[in-house]
Structure 1
Amino acid sequence: MSNTRQQDWDPRDEDVQADQIAAYDAMRHRCPVAFSDYLQWSLLRHADVMRVLEDHETFSNAASRHLSVPNAMDPPEHTRFRRLIEPYFGPQAMGEFAPQCRAIAEDVVDRLPANGEVEAMTAMGQDFALEIQCAFMGWPTSLHEPLRAWVRRQQAATLAGDREALGELAHEFDGVIRDLLASRREAGDAAPDDVTTRIMNETVEGRALADEEIVSILRNWTVGELGTISASIGILMRYLAAHPDMQDRLRADPGLLPAAIDEILRLDAPLMSNRRITTRAVKIGDRHLEAGERLTLLWGSANRDEAVFGDPDEVRLDRDPTDNLLYGAGIHVCPGAPLARMELHDFMDALLDATVDIRPLPGRPAVRARYPAGGYAEVPLHVRR
């Protein structure tokens, strides 16, 4: 396959968008390093993605046009900010948040009907994501509905490719965060001792964080969390509804939940991709890329690579967890993974404890999300408690 700029595929094609996972499975065999105007160079094999994750000198994370702390940074700048951020997701922080996390999970699950229909993405996934993220950040419950409306508008603008609207929405979200910062500064010593206030008072290299850096950190945590946690809930509930044997197994042995959650989300990605940019000429597979080329790492394909996982649709709870790229790998592995794992575990544990049966609704199949979202747009189910 020669390095030409003809389109190897169109990721926006309706056949691809109708079922991204199936399309990526096919593309991984046909053209595992594929060019498109939309995603530039897409990497679909596990080995190629791992190579990029482990070689941050050749494959830079600085692929964003906007400040993104620390997501779009390389060492040594990335290292300084990671050192600042990681304690917020360490064992002590997670232990302190655990009782509130469990209480919110149980409260959301308690809203399920005794015996009836539920749309898992909105009634469960989005509710839980909004409430748990605001609680973790120390944000007021009055933000739940404005943030829900913002997420809807952001998703619509993304699907429409409306860059102007996306820019306005980003500015609007940053304004929400700046208002929260301003209210804490006005409160002075009376400001709540929460994650948002603590981030405001952090220093890096002996200097106070600039407001732009604080806003970027809080934006990345919040926007990313709202999307991936709600997508994960939809994927997990839909999978269990389709596999009653797994429901029964997990109810009988809740200790299997952590491995089951990671494995189910391996085969159906809640976060579809990340970006990188080459710093020098490099060969990937049989494609030659120049410096400055943009790459899309397709988690939704790499985590289903038969060369690593065999049958990608087989849920096995004894796999080597280091092969699973659900939270990335290398120096840019998701710092919030401990929080996400705790949230998903508590929700699923509460869900299985509160229900005796979850099943698909006949004639109403789940509707797949469209790129860049992963998982589902709608997951209609029947639950019995």
Structure 2
Amino acid sequence: MSITEAVQNDQEIPSFPFDDTFSPHSSERLAEYAREAPAIRVRFGPGQLPIWLIVRYAPARAMLADSRFSRTRTLDFSPPLTAGQMPDPNSMLWLDPPEHTRIRRMVNAGFAHRRIERMRPWIAATARARIDAMTAQGAPGDIRTLAFHLPIEVICQLLGVPDLDREKVRTWSESLFRFHLDPKGAAEGLFALYGYMGELVRARKAAAGDTHSPEGLLDVLIAAADDDGTLTEPELHSLAMTLLIGGFETTGGVISNVITTLLTQRSHWESLVADPSGMPNAIEELLRYHPLSMTFPRVATEDVDLGGFVVRAGEVVVVPLAAMSRDPAVFTDPDRLDLTREPVPNLTFGAGVHHCIGAHLARVELTEVLTALIETVPGLRLAVAPAELRYELKAPIGRPETLPVVW
């Protein structure tokens, strides 16, 4: 089947995403399909393209690690994405090896564990400053502000975005992921952000070699590009955008959902307050329980048997990561949150060459936010009944619209 072929004989198959695909709670539709087969056919996006939706862990992991599945080929059919994920042929998100390998290798050093660990004290201090600002204003507070402000501050710090510019960068970035509520505002935010990042790249290139100028990851990439010429200016611009947007929305959504779950299932919150030494295990379980929403589409470049079904050359495959974290073949009693669960390798951050480059940074941010909260406001609790919370279910990661708390 060609990836541009219209739906003809597949009119009866369901349309994806489902109503609960982006919910932070377990998807009943995905669980139902996973009980029946490892993958199903669905219609996807505005063109209602027939694709494979993998709903079990084993074939999903195999597909994500298989070089016969291409991200670049998906650009042929303009995959439906959010305004913040517009397909960009210069972005490493859409590249296959060896082009992807070339750019990823240059970025890896910026996200190395040692570099992120050097940032940990700053991340912890920034989280505490945000919490102090919330408590100073008095209860109730909206902790969702903390969840989304911290990640944008962290990624701006990592990239080297000047302090004075960070608030407008945050405002533009947030608008991208409210495209379903304000498409015009999202488009304007995207245009402004692209323009700003282009100006920043040019400014940092002009300041290269200035010993009085602070150095961020952007400066490191510029220096590497100038040294060997392996990174073009469009690629550098695109990379800056990719890192900025990728380091903001997903992390903010996960932090919001983790805090909501801990305060809703309050015994888990109290267990961390009583014994913070359990935090490392808890972080892995919470990330399993609240993974990213789904992977980017991929196209098979040849026929591939994934066990129980064959993806033909030219067919499209998507993996909803939430289903992978609830596969009973991998996780015992998967719908139960167990902060003492022995960690099992999961697909929260994807797998293969496109495994999330910011995985360790996200873990550090989540750890430091929760640590700061249990030490600063151990009595934190929801200001409303859990049933009163309203969720944004069309965002890339479904999360509460607001998260009112008292302490």
With the shorter chain as reference, the TM-score category is 0.7 to 0.9
Q: Report whether the alignment pairs 1:343 with 2:365.
A: yes
Deviations 1:68-110 (A, max 9, x none): 5433222223222222221112233123322211211111121
* CA distance in structure 2 between the aligned counterparts of 1:379 and 1:218, rounded to whole angstroms: 29
Shift of the 253–7 alpha-carbon distance from structure 1 to 2, 3 Å rule, reads farther
Question: Quick one: distance in 2 between partners of 1:182 and 1:86?
Answer: 22
Among 27, 34, 51, the alignment partner of 1:22 is 27
> Which residue identity lines up with residue 51 of structure 1 in the other structure?
A
The amino acid that maps onto 1:383 is V
Q: For residue 83 of structure 2, what is the aligned residue in structure 1? A: none
- Distance change (3 Å), C-alpha of 1:68 and 1:4: farther
Match of 1:374 in 2: 397
Within 5 Å, give how 1:1-385 maps onto structure 2. Answer: 5-12=10-17, 14=19, 21-23=26-28, 24-30=30-36, 32-38=38-44, 40-56=51-67, 58-62=68-72, 63-64=74-75, 65-113=87-135, 116-121=139-144, 123-157=145-179, 159=180, 169-190=189-210, 191-203=213-225, 206-284=228-306, 286-317=308-339, 319=341, 321-360=343-382, 361-362=384-385, 365-371=388-394, 373-384=396-407
1:272 to 1:381, Cα distance in 2 relative to 1, 3 A: farther
Aligned-residue offset at 1:6: 3.2
The 3 A distance-change label for structure 1 pair 17 and 79 is: closer
Q: TM-score, normalised by structure 2?
A: 0.83
**Structure-1 separation of matches of 2:315 and 2:12:** 15
What are structure 1's unaligned runs of at least 5 residues?
A: none
Contact 1:278/1:291, CA 8 A, preserved across alignment: yes
| Alpha-carbon separation, structure 2, partners of 1:19 and 1:193 | 37
Match for residue 5 of structure 2? none
Aligned residue identity for 1:201: A
Comparing 356-365 and 229-238, the one that deviates more: 356-365
Write the letter of the residue equivalent to 1:78.
Answer: H
| CA 1:31–1:68: 2 relative to 1, 3 Å | farther
Question: What's the RMSD between the two structures over aligned residues?
Answer: 2.9
CA distance in 1, matches of 2:298, 2:226: 25
CA contact (8 A) 1:271 1:300 kept: yes
Please say which of residues 199-208 and 172-181 is displaced more in the overlay: 199-208
Q: Percent identity?
A: 25
* DSSP-derived class of the 1:37 partner: strand
CA contact (8 A) 1:234 1:379 kept: no
TM-score scaled by length of structure 1: 0.87
How many positions carry a matched residue from both structures?
378
How big is the shift at 1:210? Answer: 0.9
Q: In 1, Cα distance between the equivalents of 2:227 and 2:39?
A: 40
User: Contact 1:240–1:247 (CA<8 Å) still a contact in 2?
Assistant: yes
Unaligned runs of 5+ in 2: 1-7, 46-50, 76-86
Kept in 1, the 8 Å contact 2:349–2:356? The answer is yes
Q: Secondary structure at the match of 1:309?
A: coil
